[in-house]
Chains A and B, each alone.
Chain A
Amino acid sequence: MKLFTATVVENETIMPATNVLSLRAPESARSAAPGQFLHIHCGESTAPLLRRPMSVYRTERDVIQLMIRDVGEGSAWLVRRQPGEELDCLGPLGHGFRLLPQARNLLMVGGGYGVAPLVGLAERALTRGASVTLAVGAATRAHVFPTDLLPPEIEYLVATDDGSAGHAGYVTDLVPDRLAWAEAVYACGPLAMMSALARIIRAEAPAKPTQVAMEERMGCAMGVCLGCVVETTRGPLRVCTEGPVFDIRNIVWREESAPLGGHRGRSAA
């Protein structure tokens, strides 16, 4: 983990409002694990003020790739970067996904652009001889991660909210059928998807090793501001430091924890 300058070598739009940014960063590219992230300074002034945590999508030799969805001030700036431009980066940070030596059959569940770290993870798993099923959920067909960017050895399952591709409904609907086969489960996506997955795992396969990458509003990414904590069975833990990847059984999902009197309303994500 360190501060470094990375040069943009490619910027490609792969889906609506979603780009893959390739950065030349030899040291980080070699050390970064799927599930880890870079904390990137966006813009030229104090707005936006804070760096943006960007999950590592893939690594290839000296290049680290990020999948960036244009959803706000920081990401809008990032998706406009051109080859040759430099980015001020901090990382790789956090604890990534762990591939378990004994697990041969892996189920990966991604929601929205949460698919990003799972692609890099799946590629690594394949080189170790594992079998991978990747299930992704998206709003519509246009938002489904492109098939041609996935290695052909990966079984690919799709769910869309509007039924325009694959299963009409939630990606978690696809999980129960694969649980008996899977020896480990990996997930990244919206909170609602991951808490639904937690319920399924608890009900149907409570001993199944399941790792989830958590997301929370982040400040320093160095473990000092304590802004990005999630509730766990071991108390509040920092997404940037103890996470982003946690054992699904250790997360206390928000809608399940005792109300504390604050405003907890969340629209269905």
Chain B
Amino acid sequence: MAVALRKVEASATVDLKVEIGTASKIPLVLRNPVLVASGTFGYGTEYARLIDIQRLGAIVSKGITARPRRGNRGPRIVETPSGMLNAIGLQNIGIHKVIAKMAPFWAEWDVPVVVNIAGDTVDEFAYMAERLEGVPGVAGIELNVSCPNVWEGGRVIGEDAATTSAIVEAVRSRTGLPVLVKLSPQVADICGVARAAEDAGADAISLINTFVGMKIDTRTARPVLSNTTGGLSGPAIRPLAVWLVYLVSQAVAIPVIGMGGIATVEDAVEFIMAGATAIQVGTATFAEPRTALRIVENLPDALLSRACTRLADLVGRAHPTQHPSPIAMGEAR
């Protein structure tokens, strides 16, 4: 009881609010910086039966395509050391059914829902952005320019700055919603791609999508996944993700939303210190559906214990520009 009371007090004195897309017609206002990542929370309705999803910062939907997709053959997932590989192949019900069947639920919720869209072409992205415009229940768009499972050999559409720029521009010109761009970590110059997205009008950069990997069944000498390769997620990729958030958040002025193996509030703090304005919980939800809610509950104390009363005080605390500073060197210890 005492603990619960203290938490209420803490959250009353700590400002967790985040605004993304302040220049957009309708900014994305999050009560807290804890989102659940695309592909790990379905359409939101599934976990609603189990946990209080309304307390999340936002829900990012499963990746949606212009037409329904059946996805890849099984096996589609396999566990790896502190991680998992997935090659779902963007199985989804298609944008029309999402708007007709899912958005009406979202419109009733307090928690904002960001729709993750994945296109094979610039036109497909533009088409989906047009469809989503003005749909009640849709609070933002996350562009999946980085799904590793639907292009042969793991090639992704957003691997260069020019394509990313074209996609973002096409979407930007068709929507007043905040536009988040989710980048692949496996590009030659991720800061260049991120800057291209920013220059084309993106409101935030989501980092990172999965790394391409594979697992071989050593008894049969065959890949375990029917797709041969899959996207690696989970705590195994956390240091790689922290590094890229650290890099990109210093290269762009728009917010970076960090993700990659976040399972605890300390993991979230690490990403925020690396420069993330908000974070997404992904694979950890599979293991523990309450992960994101626990981070929401524990974040105020985590901030207070570092002498921060606003989330913004901690964002980028690990950046070299913040050292040496009396606050960073003293109270953070």
In whole angstroms, what is the CA distance A11 to B81 when docked? 28
* A46 contact from B39, B78, B82, Cβ within 8 A: B82
> Which of A2, A49, A264, A265 lies in contact with B287, CB distance below 8 A?
A49
Q: Is B128 part of the binding interface, using a Cβ–Cβ cutoff of 8 Å?
A: no
Contact of A265 among B82, B220, B283 (CB under 8 A): B220
Q: In residues 170-219 of chain A, which contact B (Cβ within 8 Å)?
A: 216-219
Interface residues of A in 239-269 (CB under 8 A from B): 260, 262-267
Q: Which DSSP category, helix, strand, loop or mixed, fits chain B's interface? A: loop
Assembled-state Cα–Cα distance A102/B308 (Å): 67
Residues B79 and A3 in contact, CB atoms below 8 Å apart: no
Chain A residues near B42: list those with CB within 8 A: 222-224
Least Cβ distance of B325 to chain A in Å?
Answer: 33
B133 to chain A, nearest CB (A): 26
* Contact across chains for B86 and A236 when beta carbons are under 8 A apart: no
B333 at interface by CB-CB < 8 Å: no
Using A49-B83, A50-B286 as known contacts, say yes or no to A227 and B88 having CB atoms under 8 A apart. Answer: yes
CB neighbours (8 Å) of B74 from chain A are 216-217, 228-231
CB closest residue in chain B, given A90: B289
Binary interface encoding of chain A residues 1-41 relative to chain B, with 1 for a CB under 8 A from any of its CBs, else 0: 11100000000000000000000000000000000000001
B219 in complex: contacting residue of A3, A46, A260, A267, CB < 8 Å? A267
A151 at the interface (CB under 8 A from B): no
Whether the Cβ atoms of A219 and B86 lie closer than 8 Å is yes
Query: What is the minimal beta-carbon distance from B147 to any residue of chain A, in angstroms?
Result: 13
B40 at interface, CB cutoff 8 A? yes
Nearest opposing residue in chain A for B290, CB measure: A3
A220 to B71, Cβ gap below 8 A?
Answer: no
A212 to B42, CA, bound (A): 26
Choice from A47, A227, A267 contacting B86 with Cβ under 8 Å:
A227
Docked-complex contact A224 and B234, CB < 8 angstroms:
no
Nearest chain B CB to A224's CB is how many angstroms away?
A: 3
Selected from A46, A220, A265, the residue in CB contact (under 8 A) with B285 is: A220
A49-B84 CB under 8 A given contacts A3-B290, A217-B75, A236-B91? yes
CA of A225 to CA of B76, assembled, Å: 10
Interface readout for B75-106 with A: 1 if CB under 8 Å, 0 if not? Answer: 11111011110101001000000000000000
Query: Which interface residue of B71, B83, B223, B286 has the most chain A CB atoms within 10 A?
Result: B286
| A residues in contact with B50, CB < 8 Å | 1-3, 90, 222
Q: In the complex, A224 Cα to B60 Cα: how many Å?
A: 12
Instruction: Please report whether the interface of chain A is mostly helix, strand, loop or mixed according to DSSP.
Output: loop
**Chain B residues positioned under 8 Å from A47 (CB to CB):** 81-82
A83 to B222, CA, bound (A): 40
Name B224's closest neighbour in chain A (CB-CB): A217
Query: How far is the CB of B83 from the nearest CB of chain A, in Å?
Result: 6
Nearest residue, chain B, Cβ from A267: B220
Q: Would you give the 0/1 interface string for A133-144, flagging 1 where the beta carbon is closer than 8 Å to chain B?
A: 000000000000
A216 & B75 in contact (Cβ 8 Å cutoff): yes
What residues of A have a CB within 8 angstroms of the CB of B223 in the complex? Answer: 263
Q: Do A222 and B47 touch across chains, with their CB atoms under 8 A apart?
A: yes
Q: With A49-B283, A217-B75, A220-B40 known to touch, is A225 a contact of B288 (CB < 8 Å)?
A: no
In angstroms, Cα B86 to Cα A50, docked, is 13
Supposing A220-B286, A225-B77, A226-B88 touch, asked if A266 and B71 sit within 8 A by C-beta, the answer is no
A96, B40: Cα distance in complex, Å: 25
Do the beta carbons of B71 and A229 come within 8 Å of each other?
yes
A48-B79, A219-B84, A224-B41 in contact; A3/B289 too (CB < 8 A)?
yes
B131 to chain A, nearest CB (A): 22
Q: A217 CA to B230 CA in the complex, in Å?
A: 14
Q: Hey, which bits of chain A sit against chain B, CB under 8 A? A: 1-3, 41, 46-51, 88, 90, 216-220, 222-231, 235-236, 260, 262-267
Identify 8 residue pairs between A and B in the complex whose beta-carbon atoms are under 8 Å apart, listed by A's number.
Answer: A50-B84, A225-B39, A225-B77, A226-B62, A228-B74, A229-B76, A231-B74, A263-B228
Contacts A1-B50, A225-B88 given; 16 further ones with Cβ under 8 A?
Answer: A46-B234, A46-B287, A47-B81, A49-B84, A50-B79, A217-B76, A219-B86, A222-B289, A224-B46, A229-B74, A230-B74, A231-B73, A262-B226, A265-B222, A266-B220, A267-B220
The 5 closest A-B pairs by CB, nearest first: A224-B42, A227-B77, A220-B286, A46-B82, A262-B226
